[in-house]
Amino acid sequence: MTPAELASVVLAAAHAVFEQRGLDRGALPASTVVERPRNPEHGDYASTLALQLSKKVGVPPRELATALADELGRAPGVKSVEIAGPGFLNIRLDAAAAGQLARVIVEAGAEYGRSDRLAGEKINLEFVSANPTGPVHIGGVRWAAVGDALSRLLRATGADVGTEYYFNDAGSQIDRFARSLLAASKGEPAPEDGYGGAYIAEIATEVQARRPEVRSLDDDAAQEVFRVEGVALMFDEIRSSLRDFGVEFDTYFNEKDLHDRGELDLALNRLRQQGHLYESEGATWLRTTDFGDDKDRVLRKSNGEWTYFAADCAYYLDKRERGFERVVIMLGADHHGYIGRMKAMAACFGDDPERNLEILIGQLVNLLRDGAPMRMSKRAGTVITLEDLVEAIGVDASRYALARYSSDSPIDIDIELWTRATRDNPVYYVQYVAARTAGVARNAAEVGLVPGDGDAFRPELLDHEKENELLKALAEFPAVVATAAELREPHRVARYLEESVAASYHRFYDNCRVLPLGDEEVTDLHRARLWLNNATRTVIANGLHLLGVSAPERM
């Protein structure tokens, strides 16, 4: 029995009690929640339904809990119901009902854990969006891992998600990039405000190979060639490195398109219609202080140039015009001051900034070698890049390490730890269970132990304490996925895989032998445990997939 099925049983019992007592059934919720008690000795599940309904119907909570317990105790699959405290219901399932979950999981396969919790939500999820002036640095890599995992979680809970990379191909940083390439082509040092690193010389050489005529152009014309070709080459590299990291975007959006299509003017006119623009000192301002910003923001300077914030306004409006009800933007730690102005901007457009716009801030990441932070990249010179991280610990460990922690917490990634083939390496600890469950299934087939069809499964045999513990852990997966999606916290999935599933499976494996020994005859208990083993494999694989991490069959 799954938690959702038990919740339905509890609600059915409540309907019966209300009917028997002539209570107002309109007070009953459309659904109810059962949860794991903190102390396993209190039962398999707990419900606070009696406490929730007591005041509404004028019945003391313990009296209502007693009636619910009597009715619920007669339900198939429920072994016992105890009343605790002011009216808590502690519920124990019989072994057959609890064990049946293994069959549910195996037969659901990749669908186990998915739900329609966020069905109907149309979400635009923007992440990474690194400027095309250099390789993706380690802060951007964190968002690549977390953002991709979050998109998987949102889709697994029914949301309509569009992932997006905002490509800043306009503005002063691109001019500095082009000047740096031009200087490198001449063998000169980078401009004082330019970009260094070996990658600049590499790109400059590639541009010259593609466009040999650039050598004969004057500096202004040559700089434009380096701008166009250099940005294209850099962005191709960014897309390639993210693809190798397992991250693909639905949309790559060019900032330059906003300018070329006149969308900044469109946004300006919309804000003017809303009554939030004013002119001062020859510039056009947005009155964001009306909505809590610390100062008003310039959209167009007195010389006619657009500000970066004007492009932000146009880009937000473009997303909303494309039908996205919720815009989620992931930004680095240095953008924390950005939240107020963006929320105010959404309000200026007439949106609800708490409903239509979410801004998630990610903290810093340090890559440690021999206990000290790495400061220099072989290629980028000044920052640690995606390639540096992957070269050091691999794609799986990188993605898992970055998604394992709450985004608002700084991370130190110790190279020695994350490359170690021991249980203290979190990704190894979880992937080892994936490989062990696959190995058990292979070995079982070799000795003629196969799970058989569902009708041959004897779930009531799974009555060992460690079997029950593992079943409880596996039952939590759908709720973990839903909560991680709703709270935008993929790390919940990683911690659940480690602390609940992997830990419980190891204890099960050590205490409950799946395979027959020697010439021992294959029994229904062996088959039942194989179902449980395979259910664990399903949950581990599904959870790792949500994090973009592989579930190996061998290690």
Length of the chain: 555
Tell me what pLDDT residue 56 has.
84
Tell me what pLDDT residue 168 has.
83
CA distance linking residue 82 with residue 62, whole number of Å: 11
Contact 87, 64 (CB under 8 A): yes
Tens digits of residue pLDDT in 273-315: 999 999 999 999 999 999 999 999 999 999 999 999 999 999 9
CA distance linking residue 217 with residue 238, whole number of Å: 28
CA distance linking residue 541 with residue 498, whole number of Å: 13
Give the mean pLDDT of 390-409: 95
Would you say residue 250 has pLDDT above 80? yes
Contacts 24+ apart (CB under 8 A), 452-459: 452/527, 454/103, 454/107, 456/524, 456/527, 457/102, 457/103, 457/527, 457/528, 457/531, 458/524, 458/525, 458/527, 458/528, 459/95, 459/96, 459/97, 459/98, 459/99, 459/100, 459/102, 459/103, 459/528, 459/531
Nearest to residue 243, comparing CAs of 355, 99, 144, 354?
Answer: 144
Kind of pairing, strands 45-47 and 88-93?
antiparallel
CA distance linking residue 221 with residue 218, whole number of Å: 6
Q: Where are the alpha helices (DSSP H) in 337-456?
A: 338-348, 353-356, 386-393, 395-403, 415-418, 426-446
DSSP state of 170: S
Contact 267, 317 (CB under 8 A): yes
Q: Which secondary structure element, helix H or strand E, spans residue 125, and what is its range? A: strand 122-126
DSSP state of 385: B
CA distance linking residue 156 with residue 116, whole number of Å: 8
Nearest to residue 153, comparing CAs of 436, 480, 541, 376?
Answer: 480
Would you say residue 548 has pLDDT above 90? yes
Kind of pairing, strands 283-286 and 277-280?
antiparallel
Tell me what pLDDT residue 328 has.
98
Tell me what pLDDT residue 74 has.
85
Tens digits of residue pLDDT in 186-216: 988 888 888 888 889 999 999 999 999 988 8
Q: Which two tokens stand for residue 24?
A: 């107002």
Tell me what pLDDT residue 534 has.
97
Tens digits of residue pLDDT in 318-329: 999 999 999 999
CA distance linking residue 230 with residue 228, whole number of Å: 6
Would you say residue 2 has pLDDT above 80? no
Higher pLDDT, 452 or 221: 221
Count of alpha carbons within 13 Å of 480, Cβ hemisphere only? 26
Nearest to residue 27, comparing CAs of 39, 17, 42, 40?
Answer: 17
Rg (CA), the chain: 29
Give the mean pLDDT of 83-97: 86
CA distance linking residue 481 with residue 479, whole number of Å: 5
Tens digits of residue pLDDT in 18-29: 888 888 777 778
Q: Is 305 helix (H, G, I), strand (E, B) or coil?
A: coil
Higher pLDDT, 96 or 323: 323
For residue 346, name the pLDDT band (cuts at 50, 70, 90): very high
Would you say residue 176 has pLDDT above 80? yes
Contact 322, 303 (CB under 8 A): no
Nearest to residue 66, comparing CAs of 36, 92, 86?
Answer: 86
Give the mean pLDDT of 225-234: 92
Tell me what pLDDT residue 381 has.
66
Nearest to residue 141, comparing CAs of 397, 365, 457, 461?
Answer: 365
The pTM assigned to this predicted structure is 0.88
Quickly tell me which residue has 């473009």 as its tokens: 318
Sheet containing strand 372-373, edge to edge, reads 372-373, 365-369, 411-414
Tell me what pLDDT residue 248 has.
95
Q: Where are the alpha helices (DSSP H) in 58-126?
A: 61-72, 95-108
Higher pLDDT, 543 or 47: 543
Quickly tell me which residue has 């709270």 as its tokens: 487
Number of Cβ within a 10 Å radius of residue 88: 20
Quickly tell me which residue has 């985004």 as its tokens: 407
Domains of the chain listed by start with CATH number = 3-93 (3.30.1360.70), 122-167+248-362 (3.40.50.620), 172-244 (no CATH), 422-547 (1.10.730.10)
Tell me what pLDDT residue 196 has.
80
Partners of residue 253 on adjacent β-strands:
166
Q: Is 371 helix (H, G, I), strand (E, B) or coil?
A: coil
CA distance linking residue 97 with residue 67, whole number of Å: 22
Q: Which two tokens stand for residue 266?
A: 């469109």
CA distance linking residue 460 with residue 102, whole number of Å: 11
Tens digits of residue pLDDT in 358-396: 999 999 898 998 888 877 666 666 678 899 899 999 999
Tens digits of residue pLDDT in 444-502: 999 999 988 777 899 999 999 999 999 999 999 999 999 999 999 999 999 999 999 99
Nearest to residue 198, comparing CAs of 376, 392, 390, 415?
Answer: 376
Average the pLDDT over each of 148-152, 337-341, 357-361 and give the range with the smallest value.
337-341
CA distance linking residue 366 with residue 383, whole number of Å: 10
